[in-house]
Structure 1
């Protein structure tokens, strides 16, 4: 699996974000069952029809040369070589492959929490001096990340807008500086509903 170079969408509270635009055939995008059926099936450790849940934090490497190749990135999870569960383990990798298939994307990355997913996306897409346009009704932890941590530590600033006012969203986007338009499909706890197709079109146009 390739590491995410850009984020197309994510579900923060579901602890998963989906990365990269679809590279699957168009017909599969509307048929999650077909997408799942096309995946390589991973069997359990002893041949079970479902894969085993991997509870280990670290993994055995028998040869020093193999470890060198793993730490330089020559061998990785895409070839079933695992170093440490915080990076990848077989269970989480299999989940991410299935999520990518269901969402019709090239790759997905699973995290331990919604805030981990959101932070990963922000720090991947924004560098020092970057700018975010965000809904004013995002989850409190996300609001704190955008208003306190990112400006202070990373020099990344945020303009908050009424996400239902598309003209305000459009005006808040700064050309060549805004890297992320961030909102929740239904905000927590205000239940503001975002028009995802229209906002996505607006962002891509900009």
Structure 2
């Protein structure tokens, strides 16, 4: 594993200029987008043409402004892709409901915001600093996710991300890490995490003026 500077990664990422040459990209307010050639539409719906080539259909799927934020966050965290959501909790819910089905089990840090209590998914809360407790509570064949914060909100408990990932992966369990409080300090994906989530309202926004989330 080699050191990677998140600031350099973002600086070297694709930069979008404004519609009329602005240094910053324009904010896209449209919900739907124009398709000028009829033959383009089937290619878009089949997935042949998409946002990676600047073809957009509907903002629920992709929006140029939101996509740019996603690209920058993927660069910062060192992942293949990132997707924005309407809130941090919606990002968390989307990930956990994708990885767990009815009867599934999650081992999670006891300092987390909330916890899933629906869809017959159960959660065991642990002291994430106690590696033996984490290892003991993971049930092979039943536990689907180990979920914790790299640095917890608000207690600032620091997790041993590489060791926790090793413990989980040894038992076939996916690792989801909330990196809301430490994106420029810790890169969980580079340390072994499968998915990283953020509440943009905190560090990324900086001004407590928006509610949004990221799954990376």
* CA RMSD in angstroms, aligned pairs only: 2.2
Match of 1:54 in 2: 28
Partner of 1:44: 18
* Distance verdict in 2 for CA 1:187–1:34, change over 3 Å: closer
**1:67, CA displacement in angstroms?**
2.2
Deviations 1:99-153 (A, max 9, x none): 111112221112221011101111222234332111223213xx2xx12x232xx
Which residue in 1 is equivalent to 2:67? 93
**Larger CA deviation: 67-76 vs 80-89:** 67-76
TM-score (structure 2 length as normaliser): 0.70
Task: Give distance in 2, aligned partners of 1:82 and 1:178.
Answer: 38
Aligned mates of 1:71, 1:50 — CA distance in 2: 30
**Mean Cα deviation higher: 158-167 or 97-106:** 158-167
Contact 2:101 2:119 in 1 (8 A): no
Task: State the SS of the aligned residue for 2:108.
Answer: strand
1:197 equivalent among 148, 162, 175? 162
Consecutive unaligned residues in structure 1, runs of 5 or more: 1-25
State the match for 2:81 in structure 1: 107
Structure 2 unaligned regions, length at least 5: 172-216
Greater percentage in helix: 1
Is the contact made by 1:139 and 1:189 (CA closer than 8 Å) also made in structure 2? no
Pairing 1:1-206 to 2, within 5 Å after superposition? 30-140=4-114, 143=115, 146-147=116-117, 149-151=118-120, 156-189=121-154, 191-206=156-171
Q: Distance in 2 between matches of 1:49 and 1:174?
A: 52
